[in-house]
Amino acid sequence: MFLQSTLCRFTTKLFQSRCGTLLAIRPYHEVTGDIITPSQVRGIDHLRDPRLNKGLAFTLEERQTLGIHGLQPARCKSQEEQLKLCEISVNRYENPLNKYLYLSDLHDRNERLFFRFLSENIEDLMPIVYTPTVGLACQRFGLIYRRPHGLFVTYNDRGHVFDVIKNWPESDVRAICVTDGERILGLGDLGANGMGIPVGKMALYTALAGIKPHQCLPIMVDVGTNNINLLEDPLYIGLRQKRVVGQEYDDFIDEFMEAVVRRYGQNTLIQFEDFGNHNAFRFLEKYRNNYCTFNDDIQGTAGVAVAGFYASQRLTQKSLQDNIFLFAGSGGAAIGIADLTVKAMVLDGLHIEEAYNQIFMVDDQGLLTTSRNLDAHQAVKYVKDMPPMSSLAEIVGVLKPSILIGASATGGIFTPEILRMMADNNERPVIFALSNPNIKAECTAEDAYKHTDGRVIFSSGSPFPPVTMGEKTFHPGQGNNAYIFPGIALSVICTGTHHIPEEMFLIAAQELAKFVQISDIERGSLYPPLNTIRDVSMNIAIAVTQCAYDRGLGSTYPEPQDKRKWLESNLYNYNYESSMPTTWAWPRMPYVKTRELQQISVNEKEENN
């Protein structure tokens, strides 16, 4: 305590003597946000903090100055050399979950190296840090949990949610991804184990859009679980109780939303992730005009799917309004895609009622028709006045859709018979099997190409390996939400947008489709390669930024004229910076040498005498 107070007095005196005025000084040993003052962190603490640690990349001068000389072997490595070692290390593991654990450990040790490695190898590593491996990680979360990457807010914290959120050490959070774990991917209710999803999403915010990691906060709202296996699992880390429902649940979520805004401001982006369908739509409608929020399962999925529809037009030579859409599934993803598709068709000049008439939906009981009691169903606007049909094969045979979209989380329902019917009815059938992970996909890429004689225009929610048909090899594209949400989030954060209209997701879909090259389509993909996704995110961010200012939604003024340059100036830099404490974050000043501190101490004593 004496050392701490002495250092604070020394630095205060130094500021007074060099700057002529007394400026606020950050608390001792606080390493948060963008403002990191390495001179306040010395010795082994510098190696233990992932924000400051550079591994063996510390130079000899840095090691001596920071008090870590001798704590590391003599070899000094560049970040490029470290990246090669990361590649060697991760490739040693055959099990994807082990690769996930290695990357998680790297994140805990060296933040900049982790994000650079992820960003520059996104095509290989995205399936590890997110779908499909993250699903396995969530299922075994109690076994692999090591240290916090986000906040756990439980129902037992009701009345004190704000106090819990204050415990997060960052004060400059701009984006939050929150889940209650009820519908994790296609795996169902995983309770608190679902924390792996917002952690993965926030990592992609940084890796794919350059959003600063300290501005991102994953949160698990733990209200219990109805998964009996988890409740009986001794390794389960969440509340051991059935899910809280009804008004008590709604009041708790209300308190959470109010606490977030109270702590971080009204423009804080809140992304809802993997909530049950019965809650996802309610919360989107309830909060979208009062908070800066969106639901990725509904709106992000819609954006990437509609982008695929746009790109498919180059092969089908049809406009959107010339298609018949059939959705296998009537949950959040299906309705989100359908709603955005309607907006796209209306933008093309079709009347809204005509657009609704071209979209059909099927659930586990069959076609949504007026003969069924669906008044309270979110998909009621897609109900048709037709005879009931329960078999998907029968429905495909009668309706003859040109675009078949799977969002059912039911693996294999696009049978060979259905795939052949799609090929018989269309020269170039469009089939999207969007459910994930792979075991939940409505069909595999191989089956889609095989049973349509290679004529299918295919996309999936999870990655599938290439498929060879005769002399041609197809590389099916993955309709991953990661093409959409990072770019929108970057724009929303930088512009201080206070509400996110559906128009922004349609703009994002259009920008993504523009980025697709003929070479991508020829190889069988409706999406650009994943290794271009940072460029895609930037293009989306630029277009959405323009929309924000045109609509009067942005609150960062003045409006930047060169939006690309302005957005780039806000990006996270994952390259190492000098760890020499030669400057303070503000104001700029020379490094405080020991002799100067001693002189200040002498002067202070003379003044006191």
pLDDT digits (tens, 9 = 90+) for 462-516: 889 999 998 899 999 899 999 999 999 999 999 999 999 999 999 999 999 999 9
β-pair partners for 473: 468
The hierarchical CATH code for the domain 299-480 is 3.40.50.720
Structure tokens at 81: 């050399």
Burial 562-578 (b: 16+ CB within 10 A, else e): ebeebbeeebbebebee
**Positions of CATH 3.40.50.720 in the chain:** 299-480
Work out the angle at residue 484's Cα, subtended by the Cα atoms of residues 481 and 487, and round it to the nearest 5 degrees: 140
Q: What is the mean pLDDT of residues 44-62?
A: 93
CA–CA dist 583, 577 (Å, integer): 12
- C-alpha distances in Å from residue 295, one per residue of 184, 302, 421, 572: 14, 10, 34, 25
Q: Residue length, the chain? A: 609
β-pair partners for 431: 404, 458
CA–CA dist 539, 544 (Å, integer): 9
**Region for 433 from its dihedrals, namely left if φ exceeds 0, alpha if ψ lies in -120 to 50, beta otherwise:** beta
Contact 161, 210 (CB under 8 A): no
The reported pTM is 0.87
Which residue shows structure tokens 């309610």? Answer: 282
Range in 9-18, 169-178, 457-466 the model is least confident about: 9-18
List, for residues 253-296, the tens digit of each pLDDT value.
Answer: 999 999 999 999 999 999 999 999 889 999 999 999 999 999 99
DSSP string, 156-173: GGTT-HHHHHHTSS-S--
- Helix (H, G, I), strand (E, B), or coil: what is residue 367? strand
List, for residues 154-204, the tens digit of each pLDDT value.
Answer: 999 999 999 999 999 999 999 999 999 999 988 899 999 999 999 999 999
Assess whether the previous peptide bond of 96 is cis (omega < 30° from 0).
Answer: no
User: Active-site residue numbers?
Assistant: 130, 201
Strand-pair category, 430-433 with 403-406: parallel
**Torsion on CA atoms 205, 208, 209, 215, rounded to nearest 10:** 30
Assess whether the previous peptide bond of 218 is cis (omega < 30° from 0).
Answer: no
Contact 394, 386 (CB under 8 A): no
Q: What band does 46 get if pLDDT is binned at 50, 70 and 90? A: confident
Question: Which one-letter amino acid corresponds to residue 139?
Answer: Q
List, for residues 545-600, the tens digit of each pLDDT value.
Answer: 999 999 999 999 999 999 999 999 999 999 998 777 544 333 333 444 444 444 54
Closest alpha carbon to 249 in 228, 229, 278:
278
Q: How many CB atoms lie within 10 A of CB 223?
A: 26
Please state at what angle helix 196-209 crosses helix 533-550, rounded to 10 degrees: 90
Q: Which CATH superfamily is domain 79-291 in?
A: Malic enzyme, N-terminal domain (3.40.50.10380)
- Helix (H, G, I), strand (E, B), or coil: what is residue 57? helix
Question: Which one-letter amino acid corresponds to residue 532?
Answer: T
CA–CA dist 111, 32 (Å, integer): 13
Q: pLDDT value at position 509? A: 98
Structure tokens at 299: 């709106």
β-pair partners for 359: 325
Closest alpha carbon to 115 in 91, 84, 83:
83
Q: What band does 606 get if pLDDT is binned at 50, 70 and 90? A: low
Enclosing H/E stretch for 423: helix 416-425
CA–CA dist 145, 199 (Å, integer): 12
CA–CA dist 557, 132 (Å, integer): 40
Q: What is the mean pLDDT of residues 29-50?
A: 69
Q: Tell me whether residue 377 is exposed, middle or buried, using C-beta atoms within 10 angstroms of its C-beta: 0 to 12, 13 to 18, 19 or more.
A: middle
DSSP string, 270-300: EEE-S--HHHHHHHHHHHTTTSSEEEIIIII
Contact 53, 47 (CB under 8 A): yes
CA–CA dist 382, 309 (Å, integer): 19
Please state at what angle helix 485-495 crosses helix 196-209, rounded to 10 degrees: 70
Contact 598, 79 (CB under 8 A): no
Within 197-337, strands assigned E span 216-222, 269-272, 293-295, 325-328
Q: pLDDT value at position 436? A: 82
**Positions of CATH 3.40.50.10380 in the chain:** 79-291
Q: How many CB atoms lie within 10 A of CB 464?
A: 23
List, for residues 116-159, the tens digit of each pLDDT value.
Answer: 999 999 999 999 999 889 999 999 999 999 888 999 999 999 99
